[in-house]
Amino acid sequence: MVSETFKQKADAVNALPKRPTDDELLQLYGLYKQATVGDNTTEKPGMFDFKGKYKWEAWNKLQGTSQEEAEQKYIELVDELIAKYSN
């Protein structure tokens, strides 16, 4: 179960005045999925599903990371993005 802080940060990142880079968004996605679901057990998307493949890989590379650790890393990344994109 994710913390209230995690939920607040998830809302905050959606309200950023500027869009983070694709790499930052993939990091956010992977950490979010790892924190909320745990290890990726889904099948890798097909070779023509580029977006799905990148998202799957971002999540899959966090294999073995605890949900608590992923949650903490997500919160830290959102704080960095808020500082970077809110100015």
Which pLDDT belongs to residue 76?
Answer: 98
In angstroms, the Cα distances linking 11 to 5, 16, 21, 46 are: 10, 9, 18, 31
pLDDT digits (tens, 9 = 90+) for 1-39: 789 999 999 999 999 999 999 999 999 999 999 999 999
Distance CA 68, CA 85 (A): 26
Mean pLDDT (the chain, rounded): 96
The number of distinct structural domains making up the chain is: 1
Which pLDDT belongs to residue 2?
Answer: 85
Residue span of the structural domain in which 48 resides: 4-86
Q: Is the dihedral of CA 74, 36, 31, 13 positive or negative?
A: negative
In 31-82, the DSSP E strands lie at none
The enclosing domain of 76 has a CATH number of 1.20.80.10
Could you tell me if 55 and 26 are in contact, meaning their C-beta atoms sit under 8 angstroms apart?
yes
Helix or strand run (H / E) with residue 64: none
